[in-house]
Amino acid sequence: MNKIVNSSWTPDDSAELYGVRDWGVGYYDVSDKGLLTVSTGDPDSPVTAPLLNIVQDIRERGLDAPVLIRFEDILEQQIGRLNIAFKTAIDSAGYNGQYRGVFPIKVNQQCHVIEEIATVGAQYGHGLEAGSKPELIIALAHLESPDAHIICNGYKDQEFIDLGLQATKMGYSCFFVIETPSELPILLERSRALNIKPLIGVRVKLASVVGGHWNATSGDRSIFGLSIAQLIEMIDTLREEAMLDCLQLLHYHLGSQIPNIRDIRSGVVEACQVYMELLREGADMQFLDLGGGLAVDYDGSKTNHIHSKNYTVDEYCADIIDVVMSTLDPEGIEHPTIITESGRATIAYSSVLIFNVLDVASSAPGAIPDSIPEDEHPLLHSMKETLNNLCEKNMQECYNDAVFYRDEVRDIFKRGQIGLRSRSLAENLFLLVMNNILALSETAARPLQEIDILREQLSDIYYGNFSLFQSLPDVWAIDQIFPIAPIHRLDERPTREAIIADITCDCDGKIDRFTNMHETKKTIGLHPLKDDEDYFIGVFLVGAYQETLGDLHNLFGDPNVVSVRLHTDGSYEFADEIEGDSISDVLSYVEYQPQQLRERFRKIAERSVRQGQITASERQTIMKAFSASMQGYTYYEKD
Ligand SMILES: *Cc1c(COP(=O)(O)O)cnc(C)c1O
């Protein structure tokens, strides 16, 4: 779409167009130089750096785009924010219990992330949630303080249980959360065999159902957790074994990204009732674990839309404390330690994926002669006439006519009645009519009915140097929306409307849904490429779930990852750099042996020498190129 360029464009206009100040929550902003910036530290005197400078500095060190940048300070601040918000809510309400968060490792298992969380979390007693044996091993190796809990969810076999029991003996606060009735007998048997008393939690299925993407985790048909009937059986078994005092924790998880605070409240109300009943049954209840669900406002709209949330972190904490107190106090029940398992909200903000644009497929029509040759097919003359007559009043009619003529032209081409050049001229004429209609329609009092379709169909395709399947799997799998914006040139009006395609050549490897306050847009405004300058686009809030869910579709591997720490003097440090997969790496993931591949290729090259197709020294050059490729990045590299 060619917007009429008359008034000037400011960085503030870009900030508004891309919603940066809404979803950026102070971490991301647009500078008056038109650069997208990251800010950390005290909101009153933040430390700020332009992303473009960071990307260029990373590049100078030999790590090319695409690159995933992790801002360690943001992760630290998010952990602090959650813990401080709970502390504030607890203090101001006069709550007698504590808050102890745990980070669910599955949300981002990367070593550097977990190390960071364990280090920063220590002061708050922030623990880890493990859903598998490898995750338990990670948790055991990172948590030192008994204040920080380990919550073991997921299926647990004997090996998992034995390890957890030994950890309990060593002084870890390691809870086994019973998710299915079959786990309990193994736990009891192993605890007798090892003579170690376990800390037991139980996950219940609540009747409360939430809205949003992940609502299948709530309600009767959720796959994990005990039904109320199974819970009663578990209590009876524990009582018979004289181990009811081991049951201390109640857990539920309504699902991730809960947009509506009402759903969160209603889950807590129901859980509190179960909690009190467990106490009455004789369990030594002390912990109420509300699971994850604290949402991220990806579109910045502050609504109960699935990509947003209608509450702040402070409200989330205050509401939970309020509901627990108002439910338990009338019964005179002691306040439990509140545990939440916030993953998404803790880690999402800290990562940005940055890629360069390789090419643009424009929807602009090719050259059209001033007059259509006399002997051209009459349909082409009709199309030209439509073009000439087009005005705001008749644009609907012209639209219908042009579509009709184009379809007719395609039909007669199929029947062999016109040639390729005539068909090409017709397609160009059609595109020009459509572009003109769209331009008219954008400013018309009564726009064309089909304007949305037209806008989408006439948008450019920007080819980004990244793999959607590797770096943004949720965009493909569950239509997740992430905020996207160019990281520079924000003082220029974006004159193109575009969708973004990745380089996997898969028709699903595209982004055609963008955040736009109260609706999703099918295109994004971008700038025309410049000849000698890279154009960098950032995809924001990608810290949760994307890194390990990604796959090797088309054998594009992990991108380069750089952890950045900002200093108060405005400088920054690359605290950690992880080179992305090389071609040889990804080939070995699918069981090829690089050495063997080279050997096979060498034999074929040698045959070519014998057959006189290449010379021996050409063979050497070819083999060198082959070997060099193996060591290269899987993404598009500039020389
Ligand atoms: C996935 C998961 C979480 C994390 O949820 P977020 O919405 O990312 O905070 C917490 N607890 C359990 C049991 C989970 O399965």
Ranking 173-187, 215-229, 277-291, 586-600 by mean pLDDT, the lowest is 215-229
Ligand 1 centre to CA of 343 (Å) is 6
Does 264 share its domain with 386? no
Q: What is the DSSP letter of 636?
A: -
Count of alpha carbons within 13 angstroms of residue 426, beta-carbon side: 25
- Is the shortest distance between the CB of 292 and ligand 1 below 6 Å? yes
- Is the shortest distance between the CB of 253 and ligand 1 below 6 Å? yes
Q: How far are the Cα atoms of 27, 342, 387, 426, 543 from residue 348, in angstroms, in the given order?
A: 12, 11, 49, 48, 4
Ligand 1 centre to CA of 257 (Å) is 9
Q: What pLDDT score was predicted for residue 1?
A: 43
For 267-287, the three-class secondary structure string (H helix, E strand, C coil) is HHHHHHHHHHHHHHHCCCCCE
Ligand 1 centre to CA of 470 (Å) is 21
Does 290 share its domain with 406? no
10 falls within a domain = no
Count of alpha carbons within 13 angstroms of residue 182, beta-carbon side: 6
- Is the shortest distance between the CB of 217 and ligand 1 below 6 Å? no
* Average pLDDT for 205-230: 76
Does 234 share its domain with 139? yes
* Average pLDDT for 490-519: 90
Q: CB neighbours of 221 closer than 8 A, spacing ≥ 6?
A: none
Residue with tokens 């699935």: 306
pLDDT tens digits, 376-385: 999 999 999 9
* Average pLDDT for 548-570: 91
- Is the shortest distance between the CB of 259 and ligand 1 below 6 Å? no
pLDDT tens digits, 575-607: 999 999 999 999 999 999 999 999 999 999 999
- Is the shortest distance between the CB of 356 and ligand 1 below 6 Å? no
Residue nearest to atom 4 of ligand 1 (CA): 292
Fill in the amino acid letter for 469. F
Query: Does the pLDDT of residue 50 top 60, yes or no?
Result: yes
Query: Does the pLDDT of residue 178 top 50, yes or no?
Result: yes
Determine the angle formed by the axes of helices 313-328 and 261-281, rounding to 10 degrees.
30
3-state SS class at 552: coil
Q: How far are the Cα atoms of 106, 173, 372 from residue 162, in angstroms, in the given order?
A: 21, 15, 83
Query: Does the pLDDT of residue 218 top 90, yes or no?
Result: no
Kindly give the residue spans of alpha helices, DSSP state H, lying in 368-479. 378-389, 395-414, 420-443, 451-457, 468-471, 473-478
* Average pLDDT for 515-544: 92
Ranking 44-53, 215-224, 339-348 by mean pLDDT, the lowest is 215-224
Q: How many domains does the chain have?
A: 4
* Average pLDDT for 210-235: 78
68 falls within a domain = no
Ligand 1 centre to CA of 114 (Å) is 16
Residue nearest to atom 2 of ligand 1 (CA): 292
Q: What pLDDT score was predicted for residue 364?
A: 84
Q: Any idea of the CA torsion for 220, 225, 229, 235, to the nearest 10 degrees?
A: -160
Query: Does the pLDDT of residue 215 top 90, yes or no?
Result: no
Can you give the CATH number for the domain in which 527 is found?
2.40.37.10
58 falls within a domain = no
Q: What pLDDT score was predicted for residue 3?
A: 46
Ligand 1 centre to CA of 229 (Å) is 24
Query: Does the pLDDT of residue 75 top 90, yes or no?
Result: yes
- Residue 389 in tokens: 């007559």
Is 495:3 a contact under the CB 8 Å cutoff?
yes
Q: CB neighbours of 228 closer than 8 A, spacing ≥ 6?
A: 204, 205, 274
Q: Is the pTM of this model over 0.85?
A: yes
What average pLDDT does the structure give for the chain? 94
Q: How far are the Cα atoms of 52, 355, 598, 631 from residue 635, in angstroms, in the given order?
A: 20, 10, 21, 12
Query: Does the pLDDT of residue 304 top 50, yes or no?
Result: yes
Query: Does the pLDDT of residue 269 top 60, yes or no?
Result: yes
Does 344 share its domain with 252? yes
Q: What pLDDT score was predicted for residue 224?
A: 83
Mutation probe of ligand 1 site: the residue of 78, 129, 226 with most atoms within 8 A of C-beta: 129
Can you give the CATH number for the domain in which 151 is found?
3.20.20.10
Question: What confidence category does residue 214 fall into, taking pLDDT thresholds of 50, 70 and 90?
Answer: low
18 falls within a domain = no
Does 451 share its domain with 463? no
Q: Which residue has the higher pLDDT, 638 or 627?
A: 627
Ligand 1 centre to CA of 172 (Å) is 22
Q: Which residues of 303-332 are buried (b: 16+ CB within 10 A; e: fewer)?
A: bbbbbbbbbebebbbbbbbbbbbebbeeee
Is 554:631 a contact under the CB 8 Å cutoff?
no
* Average pLDDT for 185-197: 97
Q: How far are the Cα atoms of 390, 433, 469 from residue 385, in angstroms, in the given order?
A: 9, 10, 46
Fill in the amino acid letter for 529. L
Is 152:125 a contact under the CB 8 Å cutoff?
no
638 falls within a domain = no
Q: What pLDDT score was predicted for residue 611?
A: 97
3-state SS class at 98: coil
* Residue 530 burial class via C-beta count within 10 angstroms: exposed 0-12, middle 13-18, buried 19 and up: exposed
pLDDT tens digits, 2-27: 444 456 999 999 999 999 999 999 99
Fill in the amino acid letter for 214. W
Does 477 share its domain with 598? no
498 falls within a domain = yes
Domain containing 604 equals 584-630
Fill in the amino acid letter for 14. S
